[in-house]
């Protein structure tokens, strides 16, 4: 898959064949419209990179003057020649849809182009024993707390970095997640074991604003630092599965399902807009699969 963040959409990076004033206006308007619709900084950056690649491909032609067939050919080129995966091509499609439908008001241009079908890939899951090993090999109390709170509450890495001290409600045993994916707030559970270790963590590290602060005052712990903590722990725990920090969230959901927690509650805890997203965990739950008797076992051999 190509890295869609390889070139930042700046006016100076647009080829000389495309007038800089026109390119500058395009990206200026695009950025403003995305901000007005409350898109996240990450999505704005991704859309800008996508549109820049598209503009470069057909430069010096203006995107307004491109046909349905030309847009389709560009998307085919990404898969056939640059070997983009469906997830990346879908992001490009979303960026182009925003450009034509929202900005140019030309839904007919892109309306007949089908979206790429995403392959259904089941997530890798850590067993409870593997999670236990993962946490036990971490001696640094701050690093340990990062892993514990992420797994115990099913948090995304960005949610961990943005956690503030006041978001932790020890009395109600809840964590308030602000501005999660899709700009939605939610509450999730606060583990009793986390509560037991949290007071010691707070007294030692004395976080002022963010629960996990970075090297500079007022700044949260970086996602890259947290990823390094996780992968070092995975290595030290002898775990060979192809896992990422997000695997802790997948494992949290799967383990709750195996404990008999209703899928609707898991959906709320994870902050999924659709139950279909949460249902993927029914396909990786060892309890659900193990409860099914193989037809071979019914044969008198």
156 catalytic? Reply is: yes
Instruction: Give the separation between CA 277 and CA 159, rounded to whole angstroms.
Output: 19
The tokens describing 2, both together, are 């190509």
42 catalytic? Reply is: no
Instruction: Give the separation between CA 245 and CA 229, rounded to whole angstroms.
Output: 9
246 catalytic? Reply is: yes
Residue with tokens 């070139």: 7
231 catalytic? Reply is: no
The tokens describing 53, both together, are 């690649």
Please name the helix (run of DSSP H) or strand (run of DSSP E) that holds residue 187, with its range, or none.
Answer: strand 184-189
Burial status of residue 11 (CB atoms within 10 A of its CB: 0-12, 13-18, 19 or more): middle
Identify the active-site residue in 100, 151, 221, 281.
Answer: 281
Identify the active-site residue in 156, 162, 213, 255.
Answer: 156
Identify the active-site residue in 2, 62, 72, 246.
Answer: 246
Rounding to the nearest 10 degrees, give the CA dihedral for residues 14, 20, 24, 26. Answer: -80
The tokens describing 225, both together, are 């630092």
57 catalytic? Reply is: no
Instruction: Give the separation between CA 248 and CA 235, rounded to whole angstroms.
Output: 15
Identify the active-site residue in 213, 249, 250, 255.
Answer: 249
Instruction: Give the separation between CA 227 and CA 230, rounded to whole angstroms.
Output: 5
Identify the active-site residue in 72, 176, 181, 186.
Answer: 181
Identify the active-site residue in 162, 213, 255, 272.
Answer: 272
Cβ atoms of residues 141 and 201 within 8 Å: yes
Instruction: Give the separation between CA 255 and CA 243, rounded to whole angstroms.
Output: 16
Cβ atoms of residues 138 and 147 within 8 Å: yes
Active site residues: 156, 181, 246, 249, 272, 281
């Amino acid at each position: 898959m190509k890295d869609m963040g390889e070139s930042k959409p700046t006016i100076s990076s647009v080829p000389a064949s495309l007038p800089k004033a026109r390119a500058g206006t395009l990206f200026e308007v695009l950025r403003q419209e995305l901000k007005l619709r409350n898109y996240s900084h990450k999505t704005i950056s991704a859309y800008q990179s996508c549109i820049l690649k598209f503009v470069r491909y057909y430069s010096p032609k203006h995107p307004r003057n491109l046909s349905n067939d030309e847009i389709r050919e560009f998307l085919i080129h990404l898969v056939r020649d640059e070997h983009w995966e469906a997830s990346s091509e879908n992001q490009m499609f979303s960026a182009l849809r925003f450009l034509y439908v929202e900005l140019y008001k030309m839904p007919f241009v892109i309306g007949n182009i089908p979206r790429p079908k995403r392959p259904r890939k089941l997530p890798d899951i850590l067993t409870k024993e593997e999670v236990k090993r993962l946490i036990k090999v971490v001696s640094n109390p701050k690093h340990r707390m990062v892993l514990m709170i992420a797994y115990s509450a099913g948090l995304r890495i960005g949610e961990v970095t943005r956690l503030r001290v006041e978001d932790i409600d020890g009395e109600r045993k809840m964590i308030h997640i602000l501005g999660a994916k899709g700009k939605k707030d939610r509450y999730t559970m606060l583990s009793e074991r986390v509560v037991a270790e949290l007071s010691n963590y707070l007294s030692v590290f004395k976080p002022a604003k963010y629960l996990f602060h970075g090297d500079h005052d007022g700044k949260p712990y970086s996602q890259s630092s947290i990823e390094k903590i996780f992968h070092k722990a995975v290595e030290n725990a002898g775990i060979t599965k192809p896992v990422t920090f997000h695997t802790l969230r997948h494992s949290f959901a799967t383990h709750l399902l195996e404990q008999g927690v209703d899928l609707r509650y898991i959906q709320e805890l994870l902050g999924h807009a659709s139950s279909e997203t949460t249902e993927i965990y029914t396909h990786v739950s060892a309890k659900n699969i193990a409860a099914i008797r193989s037809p071979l076992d019914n044969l008198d051999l």
